[in-house]
C-alpha cells in the first residue's frame, strides 16, 4: 500500500510436501529497483529485489491499482552458507537459508547472540527470534530491564504476549521486582 514508506509483502513458496506463506510489512527502500509509482498506477510492470545477507529474492510481476502479484526466485548466498558452517552451526539446507533470508538472520545477529551469552544458537532458534521481531537491542533491553538472561523460548513468549522491556521496567517501578518470565507472561 505504500503508507509511511512501507508496503505489505506476501511471499508464498510451494514445494513438494510443504507450503509457506509469509506476510510482513517492509520499507520500500529495502526493495532494490522498486518504482514507488507502481503503487498508484492503474497497471505497471515491476522488477525488483529484496537483498538479504543469506540471499536475494528477485520479484517480477504487475501492480494493478495498488496490488502487486507475480513470481519470485530466491538465490542463496554462498558466503552466508560458508560463514554459518564456519561458526559450527551445522550444514544448512535450502529451507534453512531461505528462512534466514526471509527473516533477516545475519552473521552479526548470530555473533551477537553468542556475545550475549546464548552460545551456539540453532538456526531455527535464530529464525524464531527474528520472526517475532526480537533483535539484539531488544534482548539487551530485556537484560537491562531486570529479567536476567531469558532463554530463546522465554524471549519468544515475552514477544508473543506483548511483554516489552518497558513493561518490565514499569512493573519493577511499581514494586514488582521479583517477577520471572512466566509471571510477566501471565500478567
Instruction: State the residue for C-alpha cell 529484496.
Output: 50
Global confidence as pTM = 0.86
Question: How do residues 54-84 score in pLDDT, each as one tens digit?
Answer: 999 999 999 998 899 999 999 999 999 999 9
| Phi, then psi, of 150 in degrees rounded to 5 | -60, 145
Dihedral over alpha carbons 116, 120, 124, 125 (to 10 degrees): -30
Mean pLDDT of all residues in 112-128: 91
Contact present, 66 and 52 (Cβ < 8 Å): no
| Separation CA 148–CA 105 (nearest Å) | 24
Q: Which of 35-44, 84-93, 165-174, 175-184 has the lowest mean pLDDT?
A: 84-93
| Separation CA 75–CA 55 (nearest Å) | 5
| Separation CA 52–CA 86 (nearest Å) | 19
> Three-state DSSP class for 160?
helix
Question: Per-residue DSSP letters for 33-99?
Answer: T--GGGGT-SSEEEEEEEEETTEEEEEEEEEETTEEE--EEEEE-HHHHHHHHHTT-----HHHHHH
> Three-state DSSP class for 108?
helix
Predicted pLDDT at 184 = 94
Question: How do residues 1-39 score in pLDDT, each as one tens digit?
Answer: 556 788 899 999 988 888 889 998 999 999 999 998 998
Question: How do residues 123-148 score in pLDDT, each as one tens digit?
Answer: 999 999 999 999 999 999 999 999 88
Predicted pLDDT at 5 = 83
> Three-state DSSP class for 118?
helix
Amino acid at each position: 500500500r505504500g503508507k509511511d514508506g512501507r508496503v505489505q509483502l506476501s511471499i508464498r513458496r510451494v514445494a513438494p510436501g510443504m507450503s509457506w506463506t509469509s506476510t510482513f510489512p517492509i520499507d520500500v527502500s529495502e526493495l532494490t529497483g522498486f518504482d514507488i509509482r507502481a503503487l498508484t498506477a492503474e497497471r505497471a510492470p515491476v522488477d525488483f529485489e529484496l537483498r538479504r545477507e543469506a540471499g536475494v529474492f528477485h520479484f517480477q510481476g504487475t501492480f494493478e491499482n495498488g496490488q502487486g502479484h507475480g513470481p519470485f526466485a530466491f538465490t542463496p548466498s554462498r558466503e552466508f552458507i560458508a560463514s554459518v558452517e564456519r561458526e559450527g552451526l551445522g550444514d544448512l539446507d535450502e529451507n534453512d537459508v531461505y528462512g534466514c533470508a526471509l527473516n533477516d538472520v545475519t552473521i552479526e545477529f548470530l555473533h551477537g547472540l553468542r556475545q550475549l551469552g546464548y552460545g551456539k544458537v540453532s538456526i531455527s532458534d535464530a529464525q524464531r527470534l527474528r520472526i517475532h521481531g526480537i533483535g539484539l537491542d531488544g534482548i539487551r533491553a530485556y537484560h537491562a530491564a531486570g529479567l536476567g538472561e531469558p532463554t530463546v523460548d522465554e524471549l519468544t513468549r515475552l514477544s508473543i504476549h506483548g511483554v516489552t522491556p518497558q513493561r518490565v521496567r514499569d512493573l519493577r517501578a511499581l514494586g514488582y521486582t521479583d517477577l520471572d518470565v512466566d509471571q510477566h507472561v501471565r500478567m
